[in-house]
Structure 1
Amino acid sequence: MNDVAATTTSESGEPPLLVEKDGFVTVLTLNRPDRRNAINRAMRKALKKELWRADGDDDVRVVVLTGAGTSFSSGVDLPEALSGPSPRTEGPTPTQVVRAISKPVIAAVNGPCYTGGYELAVNCSFIIASEHAEFADTHAQIGLLNGWGGSAMLPRMVGLPAAIQFVLSGEPIDGATAARIGLANEVIEHDFLMRRTLEIAHKIAGGHPGAVQRMLRLLKEGAGASLSHALSLEAEAAVTFRSDGRDVGARFDSRNAQQQN
């Protein structure tokens, strides 16, 4: 990867989020490994900023989200959350931004992915898990409720009975189980997690950018609709895309030609 950058440093002097560019792919790395990448205010702010930046950048077609060190994320930094202003005062949540942007966001889950971290992952377009990945939602166990979309997204991924067991028990599941029930798309040997994730990301980024973004929106909108409504959305999108897709295609062809020269 190239073009490594970092967000504003935190009080510890370390940036809460690392930003790396690899062609048309941006990799965002949650960077508090000493705290198992607990999501604090600085990280939330940086994550939202970089997601919006990626969404507005034509040179970014796919975002990959992962964690530094041995964890993806242990969830929200509870000591900080309990000692200061509520995260509700910060505007949109990171997961609302993940759902709102037009680019695919792939979660490369490299280790423990708990509670708020799990909610962040399930709001991504899909999950690729390491064999070291472990997923759990402990909200109910500690007397809290989902606030980042976990209870809405999970049943659509794994079905209602599996979601009920997962959320209410707080019992962790490994990457292989996550893949079996549909929480993760693939479980990969740990040392090859980023290689495989970037392989998928670059495959997506190599497609027609306008078609990829329109199909992503269509898939997300259709997933929560009846079959008849999803079919009507597809038919409408096909007509609309034909009417405005020529300019998008011309820009894509022009950019590819420039890269090849």
Structure 2
Amino acid sequence: MTRQAGTAEDVREDDTPVLVERDGAVTILTLNRPDRRNAINRAMRKALKKELWRADADDEVNVVVLTGAGTSFCAGVDLPEALSGPPPAAEGPTPTHVLRGISKPVIAAVNGPCYTGGYELAVNCSFIFASERAEFADTHAQIGLLNGWGGSAVLPRMIGLPAAIQFILSGEPIDGATAARIGLANEVVPHDDLLDRSVAVAQRIAVGHPGAIRRMLRLLKEGAGTSLAHALALESEAAATYRADGADIGARYAKRRAQSD
């Protein structure tokens, strides 16, 4: 099956702010306000958190892919709505709190412009695949705002402090190829192949042992940015407390051997 990112046939004309599709053990979440470049309003924030929590609680889901409808990934927060209503703090956890907190990998399939709050969504996913039409920018400082969804904390750990300073303070957009070169995106993918590639990698992860995948993801996230000694201690603790099933390991190993022959 060929999936095309952001084509008209993928976009349902309804008021659902986040579309949900299942492909085996993979859930695909699509931000669905294409006429507003998927700007994040209150309804979308609520729906996105709900669907992330739902995927995390579903034992049949192992990986999530997050993308955008239409020609954009996400233009950021719907600023006119945000400036006219109650502060987002009244809504509880932010979507990026949820992205960082859930136990399953989330792949951002960035199919177009990914700005400000949208960029913060993407960098709080487990990793990013970028379409050749992707464009990343952070305009918070340019318009008088600060990062509030983790961007200033996460980005330097991804691309280094000097590059993060330039990106966040200048507001200058970078394309998908540049994002991949500096380590913001894992890959830049031909636009029409973006969802196929993202779902294929998600499926590759999803066939792994669910418990081991979740524990390894937690170990990687907890060890990132710490000292080597602390990361090694976390690994030793995980190895001592993780309960492996020998029969299951043997069966999985035999299956992989048979597939590789």
TM-score by length of 2: 0.89
1:61 aligns with 2:67: no
Separation of aligned partners in 2, 1:47 and 1:88 = 16
1:137-176 to 2 correspondences below 5 Å: 137-176=138-177
Gaps of 5+ in 1: 2-11, 257-261
Separation of aligned partners in 2, 1:214 and 1:248 = 19
Separation of aligned partners in 1, 2:64 and 2:146 = 28
**Which whole-Å deviations, capped at 9, do the CAs of 1:225-254 have from their partners, x for residues lacking one?**
10001001001101111xx3339959x98x
Separation of aligned partners in 1, 2:139 and 2:248 = 46
1:96-135 to 2 correspondences below 5 Å: 96-135=97-136
Tell which has more relative contact order, 1 or 2 (C-alpha 8 A, sep 6+): 2
Letter in 2 for 1:203: R
Separation of aligned partners in 2, 1:211 and 1:101 = 15
1:77 equivalent in structure 2: 78
User: Number of residues paired by the alignment?
Assistant: 241
**Which whole-Å deviations, capped at 9, do the CAs of 1:152-186 have from their partners, x for residues lacking one?**
00000000000000000000000000000000000
1:85-104 to 2 correspondences below 5 Å: 85-104=86-105
What SS is found at the alignment partner of 1:245?
A: coil
Separation of aligned partners in 2, 1:135 and 1:193 = 16
What SS is found at the alignment partner of 2:44?
A: helix
Letter in 2 for 1:146: N
CA separation of 1:214/1:248 partners in 2, compared to 1, >3 Å: closer, same or farther? farther
Separation of aligned partners in 1, 2:81 and 2:208 = 42
What SS is found at the alignment partner of 2:146?
A: coil
What SS is found at the alignment partner of 1:107?
A: strand
Separation of aligned partners in 2, 1:166 and 1:184 = 14
What SS is found at the alignment partner of 1:58?
A: coil
1:245 equivalent in structure 2: 244
What SS is found at the alignment partner of 2:21?
A: strand
- Report percent identity of matched pairs: 78
TM-score by length of 1: 0.89
**Which whole-Å deviations, capped at 9, do the CAs of 1:123-145 have from their partners, x for residues lacking one?**
00000000000000000000000
Separation of aligned partners in 1, 2:155 and 2:124 = 9
1:195-210 to 2 correspondences below 5 Å: 195-210=196-211
1:4 equivalent in structure 2: none
What SS is found at the alignment partner of 1:18?
A: strand
Separation of aligned partners in 2, 1:27 and 1:227 = 35
CA separation of 1:209/1:180 partners in 2, compared to 1, >3 Å: closer, same or farther? same
Letter in 2 for 1:97: V
Separation of aligned partners in 2, 1:65 and 1:147 = 20
How far is 1:74 from its partner?
Answer: 0.2
CA separation of 1:249/1:40 partners in 2, compared to 1, >3 Å: closer, same or farther? farther
CA separation of 1:98/1:247 partners in 2, compared to 1, >3 Å: closer, same or farther? farther
Letter in 2 for 1:35: R
* Alpha-carbon RMSD: 1.8
What SS is found at the alignment partner of 1:220?
A: helix
1:210–1:248 CA contact under 8 A, matched in 2: no
1:154–1:163 CA contact under 8 A, matched in 2: yes
Moved beyond 4 Å, runs of 4+: 247-250
Letter in 2 for 1:59: E
1:93–1:148 CA contact under 8 A, matched in 2: yes
**Which whole-Å deviations, capped at 9, do the CAs of 1:11-41 have from their partners, x for residues lacking one?**
x942000000000000000000000000000
**Which whole-Å deviations, capped at 9, do the CAs of 1:70-104 have from their partners, x for residues lacking one?**
00000000010011111110000000000000000
Separation of aligned partners in 2, 1:35 and 1:195 = 25
